[in-house]
Structures are given as structure tokens and as C-alpha cells.
Structure 1
Amino acid sequence: MKDAVRRPGEANSSTPIRVVVADDHPVVRFGVKNMLENEPGFEVVGEAEDGDVAITETLEREPDILLLDVMMPRLPGLEALRAIMDKSPRVKIILLTSTITQQQIIEALQIGARGIVLKDAAASDLSRSMRAVLSGDYWIGGERVVNLVAALNELMKQAAASPDKKTYGLTPREIEVVTCIVEGCSNKDVAKQFSISEETVKRHLSNIFDKTGVSTRLELALFAIAHKLVTLDN
């Protein structure tokens, strides 16, 4: 028998808030799940390790909330967000991310995201942000937002005043990997430096190649230098 599903935003203190957690890092998913299990009124009903699975899990599980990382393998978070909004606009989506640009925040809110929570603030903000969006509000910059239009206008002013440095969509970790490649590091060297597996390094490189349009490590190094993605020591 299918679990009883409460419509997102529908008040019912006896029914837990159903959550899907989508992040490519198992440790993050585990941490968020444990965090929510220690909070009364939440239930993690699904997990996803990439953008495609996030779409499938959300459409099948029909959660109240999807916690979605921006940088996901196979299908980026914003594209997954767009696809879900097209097919299941009632789900409340909160972006859970390590870093996000002003322009990405604006785009996400315009597509249909209800909130943005930085991972380093997740412990203090996560449950409050979810309760805020379920009540019909938004969560931006660590606080509840009622007037989305005013918030978007303010974000657009800030973005115009201080445009983001062009990084070609690379995450901070990917920039670090690029820096290592420019310095001549092998995959093994990169893995050791950041305490990650060589398979993760290969995945980072694949994403970096896709974003920058290069196909070899040499081309990547030249691209990074030419576009000032890294700072070379004199």
C-alpha cells in the first residue's frame, strides 16, 4: 500500500515532513539524513546521487521537500530543478550547496526554487528553512523571505553592482583541481592532496573538461592560464 502523501505546505502535525536528499557525496547525504532524523517531524523518504536520479526519486516519492545540490553529476542541479518544476510544481525545492553565485540564486528562484541553504550553515538553518517554505515563504540568505519580488530585485541590484568572476561554472573544488593540473600534479597527487579517491578526481576532471570545452590536461592548463582561472607564482 502506498504511503499516505501530504500535499506540500498542507498543515498536519501528525504527519512527518517527507524529504528527498539529492547530493553526489554519500557523506553529505548521510549527514543530512542523520540531522533530520534527530529533528522531530521529518522523514527522509529517498536519496539521489545525481541529477537524473533526483528527478526520478522526486516524481516517484512525491516528497514535501527536495534538498538539491547545485553541482550534480550527469545533470546539474538547476537543470534537474527545471525538469521537476515542469512535471511536479507542487514540490518545494531547497538548494543545499557549498557555494552559489548571485546569478545562480536569481536563476534558481526564477525557475521555482523556494530556498537556498549553504552546507556550512545546514545545522542551524535546515529545519527552519524547510518549515518556512512549507508555510509558503522563501528562505534566502539565512532568513525567511515573504516578498519574493522584492528579494529578487535586491539580488539583481547586488549582482549588477559586483558581477561574479567568470569561472565557467567551475566549483571551488574544481578550481583547486585545475590549479593542481597546471602545477603538473597527477591524479594520484590530487587525490592525496584533497583526501579523495582517484575515481573522484577523474569525475572532477570529466566535469571540468565538459565545462571548459577542452579534452586534454595540457589544453586545460593552457585554458586555465589564458583565462586567469589560476594565479601563477612568479
Structure 2
Amino acid sequence: MNKIILADNQAIFRAGTAKILAMEDDFRIIAQCPDSDRLYQAIDAFRGVVLMFAATLKTDLKMLMNRIAGAGSRAIVILENDDSPQPFLSAGVEGLIYRNVSGPSLLDCARRVAGGEHFEQPAGSADKREEDAVGARVRDRLTSKEMKIVALITQGCKNKEIAMRLGTTEQVVKNYLRSIYDKTGVSDRLELALFTMHHKMLFQAATAVSEQMMQTM
């Protein structure tokens, strides 16, 4: 059984990653950490595990890797799509993936690192360019109201909060969500949030909409 510590300050991505890992018989998530303080506590509490941590936690990388090595554990970093991998590779992380990682690649990385190997997801691959193209197509198909709902879903908002923010009803939000699910090919709000974060062009559009809404509040 491969034991996993999952540390990420993006709750939706953390939940999606946990969902993917939990479906496999050879993985068990023993801790989920939303910040660096709890991450360090988990490292000290569990030995010989695989730590999957997000670069956005902004930890002291040298200190983190020393703590991981001292616990006899191995590390996988989750990079933002535009991050440079070099500092993390130089620090000794055994696995490197990006936010746009697919489920199968995520599992492959975790299994290889747990087995003592190294894994690096290629940046700028043809798959990544295709994912960006998919994001652009979906972005262009969504209406302005649908894009606002996507932006709020990605922030973790529930239907009631979305309805209040947009000055409408929960039933109207549900109707919009059905249309959004059809256009993106997902089946629930968690998959929608992950789909958005995995597709750069769509995520950038949702982020821009979020900033616009914040300015008008």
C-alpha cells in the first residue's frame, strides 16, 4: 500500500486529486494539508510516504526537502502550468507534474515515485497544446453568465452563494449548470472545477471574470 500525504492550498484541486487516488486499491491518503504548517506536521508524523505538494504553498524548498529526506519519504511537486521545474529538480524532488496533469499521468507519477523511480511530466507537449485548444473552444461556447458561474464554481462557491452573487435563484443557477455540463462534457461541479483548472485558456478567462466581479462588489 502506497501512503500519500496530499498538500495543496487549492481545495478543489486537492479534492479532485484525492478522488482520483482513492479509486485505486494501491493508494491510501493518510493526510491532507491546506497549508505549510500542517504539511510539516504531517511529514514529522508519518515516515516512508509519498508527499504530493503544491508549489503554491511557497515553502522553504531546501528545508522541506531536508524534512522529507529525514522522514525517509519521497516528494512529488505540483507546479502551475507556467512554473519553471528547474528549482525543484535541483532540490531533489523525485516527481514533477503540472496542474493540467491527466488522471492516468498522475497515477503513473505516484506509482513510479513510490517505487523508487523519477517522473517528470513534459512541459509544452502536444497534449498540453491540445488541452489549451480545448479550453479555448469551451471558453468561446460559454455565455457571459455561464462564464461567471464557472468562475464562482472554481472558487468553491455553492449554488446558493452563486445565486446571491448573480442576483438570481438557485433553480436558475442549476439550469445554467446543466448547460455548462453539456458544453464541457463533465457531470458535476468538482469535475467542472478541475476541467477549468486543467485548461489554461478557460482558466485564464474564468480568472479574469472573477477579478471583474470583485471590482464591481
Q: CA deviation at 1:98?
A: 3.0
| Stretches (4+) displaced over 3 A | 191-194
- 1:112 Cα deviation (Å)? 1.7
Match of 1:95 in 2: 77
Q: Number of residue pairs matched? A: 129
Between the aligned partners of 2:101 and 2:30, the Cα distance in structure 1 is 23
Higher relative contact order (CA 8 A, sep 6+): 2
Q: 1:193 to 1:135 in 2, by over 3 A?
A: closer
Please name the residue that 1:37 is paired with.
22
Cα deviation digits, residues 64-92 of structure 1 (max 9, x gap): 201100012xxx04x2x422322331311
Q: 1:166 maps to what in 2?
A: none
Gaps of 5+ in 2: 124-147, 158-217
Are residue 60 (structure 1) and residue 45 (structure 2) matched? yes
Aligned sequence identity (%): 16
1:121 aligns with 2:101: yes
**Matched residue, 2:121:** 141
2:35 — aligned with what?
50
What amino acid does structure 2 have at the position aligned with 1:96? I
Q: Secondary structure at the match of 2:97?
A: strand
Instruction: Report if the CA contact (8 A) 2:54-2:78 is conserved.
Output: yes
Contact kept? 2:4, 2:49, Cα under 8 Å: yes
CA contact (8 A) 2:81 2:100 kept: no
Q: Distance in 2 between matches of 1:100 and 1:30?
A: 22
SS of structure 2 residue aligned to 1:46 = strand
Report the residue type matching 2:74 in the other structure: K
Question: What is the RMSD of the two structures over their aligned residues, measured on CA atoms?
Answer: 2.6
Alpha-carbon separation, structure 2, partners of 1:39 and 1:17: 10
> Are 1:46 and 1:61, in contact at CA under 8 Å, matched by a contact in 2?
no
TM-score computed with the length of structure 2 as normaliser: 0.53
Matches within 5 A, 1:143-222: 194-195=151-152, 196=155
TM-score normalised according to structure 1 size = 0.49
Identify unmatched segments of 5+ residues in structure 1.
1-15, 144-190, 199-234
CA distance in 2, matches of 1:109, 1:49: 23
CA distance in 2, matches of 1:111, 1:43: 26
Contact 2:68 2:74 in 1 (8 A): no
User: Following the alignment from structure 1 to structure 2, what is the Cα–Cα distance between the partners of residues 40 and 142?
Assistant: 27
Question: Which is richer in helix?
Answer: 2
The match for 1:178 is none
CA contact (8 A) 1:25 1:49 kept: yes
Tell me which amino acid in the other structure corresponds to 1:127. Answer: L
Match of 1:17 in 2: 2
